[in-house]
């Protein structure tokens, strides 16, 4: 396993980070809001799906 010079490594990291195009604040805010809305929709969907399935199972198990 080859050893890397720590100073050379940090220089390479700095070069690579300078190539990154960072998102604007507005893009971050919009993306965050979209994620929160989609999480809310997914939570409601899975809540309803779980309720429907559990109700069906309870109904099937209550039949004798």
Q: Report the pLDDT value the prediction gives residue 17, as an integer from 0 to 100.
A: 94
Domain residue extents for the chain: 26-64
Nearest 5°: phi and psi at 15?
Answer: -65, -45
Nearest 5°: phi and psi at 3?
Answer: -90, 140
Residues lower than pLDDT 50 in the chain: none
> In the predicted model, what is the mean pLDDT of the chain?
93
Q: Report the pLDDT value the prediction gives residue 63, as an integer from 0 to 100.
A: 77
Whole-model pTM over 0.95: no
Q: Report the pLDDT value the prediction gives residue 4, as an integer from 0 to 100.
A: 79
Q: Report the pLDDT value the prediction gives residue 2, as an integer from 0 to 100.
A: 72
């Amino acid at each position: 396993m080859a050893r890397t010079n720590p100073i050379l490594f940090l220089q390479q990291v700095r070069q690579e980070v300078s190539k990154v195009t960072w998102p604007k604040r507005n893009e971050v805010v919009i993306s965050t809001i979209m994620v929160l809305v989609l999480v809310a929709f997914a939570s409601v969907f899975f809540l309803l799906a779980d309720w429907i399935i559990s109700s069906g199972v309870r109904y099937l198990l209550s039949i004798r």
